[in-house]
Amino acid sequence: MTGLVYRPPDTPLSILHEDHEILIVDKPAGLLSVPGKGDHLSDCLMARVQAVYPHALLVHRLDLDTSGVMVFALSHHAQRHLNLQFEKRQTKKVYVARVWGDVEGDAGEIDLPLCVDWPNRPRQHVDRENGKPAQTAWRVAKREGGTTRMRLTPKTGRSHQLRVHMLELGHPILGDPFYAEGEARDFPRLMLHAESLKLRHPDGGHYVGFRSKVPF
């Protein structure tokens, strides 16, 4: 958050699904998933959820600038079950991104290890010696006047993975305050949205899927 002014959106909590074990929420862009350090960073999706569901438990996070589907557990059993799924990469997440330029080809996969860029935290970068494995499958959905709309499926869950992988592809995500430059950065928000999440329900293990409408 260094150098950034935190102005969380004043929008009502958007619930996509609720049952006895899980809560599916549509996170807006510009809102922290969990509180940061300091009172000025206390407003976050977790706090807003727990104001209505005091027993809700964290399972995963989305970046401040990313919008879309997030799951919260409503029991300790559900939290353990979901945490294990994320750890073993048994969930399937699909993101929609708008990126700068016309992407060549229609689909592919990026396999580049990532780690934190310590002098420039929280930025991440490719590090073939010290980085952790990171893979992203991508597919072009539409080319739109010098930009490309893409569907991205992360096979790993590294910090800023999609943002750095798109940069390395030569097509930074529009509006990215960390990795885009010039005209590519001049957008009102990061054009990255967690469109869908598929997971096994903690009660019975059957697969369920949830979607959030892309706001851009």
Q: What global pTM score does this model have?
A: 0.95
Mean pLDDT, the chain, rounded, equals 96
Question: What does the pLDDT look like over 102-113, one tens digit per residue?
Answer: 999 999 999 999
Catalytic residue IDs: 63
Q: Is the pLDDT of residue 45 over 80?
A: yes
Residue 208: its pLDDT value, please? 98
Residue pair 36/45 in contact by the 8 Å Cβ criterion: no
- Residue 4: pLDDT band with limits 50, 70, 90: confident
Backbone angles phi, psi at 84, to 5 degrees: -65, -40
Q: What is the mean pLDDT of residues 133-145?
A: 97
Question: What does the pLDDT look like over 182-216, one tens digit per residue?
Answer: 999 999 999 999 999 999 999 999 999 999 999 99
Q: What is the mean pLDDT of residues 2-22?
A: 92
CB atoms near residue 20 (< 10 Å): 9
- Residue 3: pLDDT band with limits 50, 70, 90: low
Percent of the chain with pLDDT over 90: 97
- Dist CA 152 CA 134 (whole Å): 13
Q: Is the pLDDT of residue 46 over 90?
A: yes
Percent of the chain with pLDDT over 70: 99
Q: Is the pLDDT of residue 147 over 60?
A: yes
| Whether the bond into 113 is cis, omega within 30 of 0 | no
- Residue 34 buriedness (CB in 10 A; 0-12 / 13-18 / 19+): exposed
Residue pair 110/168 in contact by the 8 Å Cβ criterion: yes
Q: Is the pLDDT of residue 175 over 80?
A: yes
Q: What is the set of domains in the chain, with CATH numbers?
A: 15-91+198-211 (3.30.2350.10), 94-192 (3.30.2350.10)
Q: What is the mean pLDDT of residues 6-15?
A: 97
AA identity, residue 72:
F
